Amino acid sequence: MRIKVTRRKFLQTASLTAASVPLAKMARAESSLVEKPIAAPGSFTATETRYGGVCEMCFWRCQLVGKVRAGRLVKLEGNPKSIENGRSICARGNAGIQLLYDPDRLKYPLKNVGERGKPKWKRISWEEALDEAAARLKAIQQKHGPHAVALFPHGASAFYPLQYFEFTGTPNISEASFYQCRGVRDMAYLSTFGFAPGEHVDMANAKVILLVGTHLGENVHVSHLKQYLKGLENGAKLVVLDPRFSAAASKADIWVAIKPGTDTAFLQAVMKRLIDTGRYDKEFVAKSCAGFDELNGSLGEVTPEWAARVCDVPEEQIIAVADLLGTNLPNVAIHPGRHTTWYGNDFQRSRAQACLTALLGAYGVPGGLIRPKGVKLGKAAWGHGVFAEDCDLSTFWPFHPPGTPTEAIRETTLTGKPYPIKAWIAWSRILFRQSPINRGPSRPSGRWTSSWSPISCPWTSPCSPTSCCRKRATWSATITSRPACSGTRPTSRSSSWLPGCLWWSRCSSARTRYGS
């Protein structure tokens, strides 16, 4: 039982003396608190603007400035010098400060010193984390081959590590979220146009914008939204296919409140009407397209009346949309969409969007689908890896998007066939529900992890020649350096620093290498 002693009474009677206190052994070389001249009240309110941040609350990479006061990031704003987003950022970007200052943000490298599945985490140094990761990866690759390592990357921060692991010889890289987002769209356009479309439609110069389920104005991607609004300001007609009265639908000239999952029928009927009335780009089709007759033949039974029944929309509306598109060709923006995996019949819907784009000649013209050029990183990029042909698991799936299917990596890891996969690296990914990796009840993959390393929050990424950000937009391409725009020194490291050190750690035994 405790004896009731107050602090004052204790201090009056304590026999403990300073000499008996083990302070000397606990003393650090430097104190975190230093004496300074007394500052007057109110002298501490200056706010500094730091340029050069790039937002990563999504992948769109809007350019930012950070407002820093007393070493604290107090606000994020769009960079007024940006040719993309200018002063604007979206609501999610505004909330980026919470990413930096979330108390549960990973702060140090952690190592699991418990059992797998029953982890006990312990803070370790960067040197220990890198040495151990490098040694274990090297040992696995020496014993089982470079392909025995699989990477699950996601987001803009995965750019360098993805290149690094490909360079070190593993083809087993799967961006599993790709399949649930833009995978079907990219496959459809690859099969039709020969390239993945991105969202590169020139809405600012379009005479008609067609959105198939796309609800611009409710999500992010500021510069994209600006292009869309510019198009509307310039007088573009807007057609929106969406069962919901979305933000875009509220601005539409024609809102098609379509029955969910029937968009392909609608698009087929529009194409049939365009062909039947001769309102398609005959010159473009003749010069640049193959398979027009097959397309026309496949639409033989399609009529607006049939599609109206399937889609539960008025027949007149289908005709009106077709005529509007045909009248304004080729300056028509058929938006390829994003997050296009909906009902299981999405590939053919995206194919229909691509075919409609071609039929209207809406490619490489103002208002149409554009294929922009990117920025080359030159020597700042890792080279491509060389893989043995029999290591490519994707050959078992004859029709698949770029990368190795997640299922193939999972099955190979579980069965060891055709070869063992002994290490998984999750980069900015939680292998948890998101993909069918954990069999049985979904489990946080963290429980099975050997170690975690914190990559920088984008507002704290240190400046380095390779710590830059590429962006390819419809009519512009930019490369942006990204010095830290917050006042806090991170214990995390940038996404370009980590693979570089990992490589160095594998190749060198010098203990001083981390300083530079």
Partner 1 sequence: MNEAAAGSLLDDLFRILGRSLEYPQGNWPDGDYLAWLDGLLAELGWEEERAELRDLPADHVELLDVLQIEYTRLFINAVPTAVAPPYGSVHYPGEGMLNNRSTEKTREFYRRHGFDLAEESGPADYLPLELEFLARLAGSGRETEAEVFLSNYFRPWFSAFRARVLAGALLPFYRILIELIDFFTQQEDKYEN
d(CA 193, CA 350): 11
The answer to whether residue 271 forms part of the interface with partner 1 (CB under 8 A) is: no
Q: For the CB of residue 402, give the shortest distance to partner 1 in the complex, in Å.
A: 33
Using the contact rule CB under 8 A, the part of the chain among 38-46, 321-329, 345-353, 395-403 near partner 1 is: 38-46
Q: Which stretch binds partner 1 (CB under 8 A): 84-92, 111-119, 311-319, 473-481?
A: 111-119
Draw the binding track, 122-151, toward partner 1 (x: CB under 8 A; -: no contact): xx----------------------------
Minimal CA–CA distance to 305: which of 314, 296, 294? 314
User: Residue 117, Cβ neighbours under 10 Å: how many?
Assistant: 9
Q: Is the dihedral of CA 390, 395, 401, 407 positive or negative?
A: negative
Q: Does 1 bind partner 1 (CB under 8 A)?
A: yes
CB of 1 to partner 1, least distance (A): 7
Task: Based on the shown chain and the rule CB under 8 A, indicate whether residue 38 belongs to the binding site for partner 1.
Answer: yes
Binding test (CB under 8 A) with partner 1, winner from 48, 102, 128, 390: 102
Supply the minimum distance, in Å, between the C-beta of residue 97 and partner 1: 8
Q: Within a 10 A sphere around the Cβ of 113, how many other Cβ atoms?
A: 12
Strands 237-241 and 468-472: unpaired
Angle between helices 263-276 and 346-359 (to 10 degrees): 20
| CA pair distance 346, 338, nearest whole angstrom | 12
> In the complex with partner 1, which residue's Cβ is closer, 97 or 409?
97
Determine whether 140 is exposed, middle or buried from the number of CB atoms within 10 Å of its CB (0-12, 13-18, 19+): middle
Q: Which is nearer to partner 1, 73 or 313 (CB)?
A: 73
Per rule CB under 8 A, is residue 104 in the interface with partner 1?
yes
Residue 290 touches partner 1, criterion: CB under 8 A: no
Nearest-angstrom CA–CA distance, 348 and 354: 10
* Bond from prior residue into 330 cis (ω within 30 degrees of 0): yes
Residues 460 and 489: their CA atoms lie apart, in Å, by 7
Site residue total, partner 1 (CB under 8 A): 68
CA distance 97 to 226: 24
Q: Provide the minimum distance between the beta carbon of 125 and partner 1 in the complex, in angstroms, as a whole number.
A: 9
Q: Is 46 in the site for partner 1 (CB under 8 A)?
A: no
- For residue 69, report the phi and psi dihedrals to the nearest 5 degrees: -130, 130
Q: Which of these segments, 1-9, 184-192, 252-260, 420-428, binds partner 1 (CB under 8 A)?
A: 1-9
Binds partner 1 by CB under 8 A, chosen from 51, 108, 342, 387: 108
Helix (H) or strand (E) holding 139: helix 126-144
30 near partner 1 (CB under 8 A): yes
Query: Residues 83, 340, 358, CA angle at the centre, nearest 5°?
Result: 75
CB of 41 to partner 1, least distance (A): 6
Enumerate residues 436-475 that contact partner 1 by CB under 8 A. 444, 446-447, 452
Lay out the site mask for partner 1 across 477-496 (x = CB under 8 A, - = otherwise): -----------xx-------
What's the min distance (Å) between Cβ of 4 and partner 1? 8
Determine whether 176 is exposed, middle or buried from the number of CB atoms within 10 Å of its CB (0-12, 13-18, 19+): buried
Cβ-based nearer residue to partner 1, 34 or 286: 34
Mark the segment that binds partner 1 (CB under 8 A) among 35-43, 126-134, 201-209, 503-511.
35-43
Among 51, 75, 88, 121, binds partner 1 (CB under 8 A): 121
- The 10 Å Cβ neighbour count of residue 274 is 21
For residue 11, the Cα-to-chain-centroid distance in whole angstroms is 59
Looking at beta carbons only, is 124 or 322 nearer to partner 1? 124
Residue 356 has, within 13 A of its CA and on its CB side, a CA count of 32
Q: Write out the residues near partner 1 by the rule CB under 8 A.
A: 1-3, 5-18, 20-23, 25-28, 30-41, 43-44, 69-73, 98, 100-108, 110, 113-114, 119-123, 444, 446-447, 452, 488-489
